[in-house]
Amino acid sequence: MDRTRSVTYQLQDHLIVYDFIDGVLLCRRLGDKKNLWIKKIYERTSLEEIVEDEERFYLSFADSEREGQFLVLERDTGYSVWTVPGRPFFNQLYGDYVFLIFSDEKGNFYLLKMDRKNGDKIWHHAVSEGLCQYAIKRESISLTYKDGTKEEIAMETGKLLS
């Protein structure tokens, strides 16, 4: 694939190439350079980030400031496991969960806690566009905004602690 029309991510044991003109995602194993799978990704213009665990790839696609998709694929087959519509900005794997900060089509920003296996939403918390830092701890999540405002959210329930 031509470099001007694609982006390449080298992960631990895999190479992922996304051709954003044709919407083709290619996964190649690094060791033997074998192509594992090729997947058509419809209507996605930019692959922003990939995070991986032992079983899956977690991909953040952005089409605009408000549109995109968070897509979870099986590493070996490219099978789509689950997805979240909206523009993903940050994602973090923590224990059995995925934490995702994203914007919906109306421009509202949220922090989601989802089950890593099936994508079930555990809770969501509205966040301001000015969110500039977050820290995931065992008991809580700390959010810091550009204006100095801070929030502490309970890890288990998503409820505000402060």
Q: Domain residue spans in the chain?
A: 3-127, 128-162
pLDDT of residue 43: 75
pLDDT of residue 2: 46
Q: Which CATH number fits domain 3-127: 2.70.70.10, 3.80.30.20, 2.40.128.630, 3.30.70.250?
A: 2.40.128.630
pLDDT of residue 1: 46
Q: How many other C-beta atoms are found inside a 10 Å radius of the C-beta of residue 160?
A: 11
What is the separation, in whole angstroms, between the first and last Cα of the chain?
A: 50
pLDDT of residue 135: 93
Cα 60 to Cα 45: distance, rounded to the nearest angstrom: 11
Strands 46-52 and 35-40: unpaired
Cα 52 to Cα 92: distance, rounded to the nearest angstrom: 10
- 10-residue mean pLDDT profile of the chain (162 residues): values are 75 93 93 93 85 95 87 96 92 94 89 95 92 92 94 95 80
pLDDT of residue 136: 93
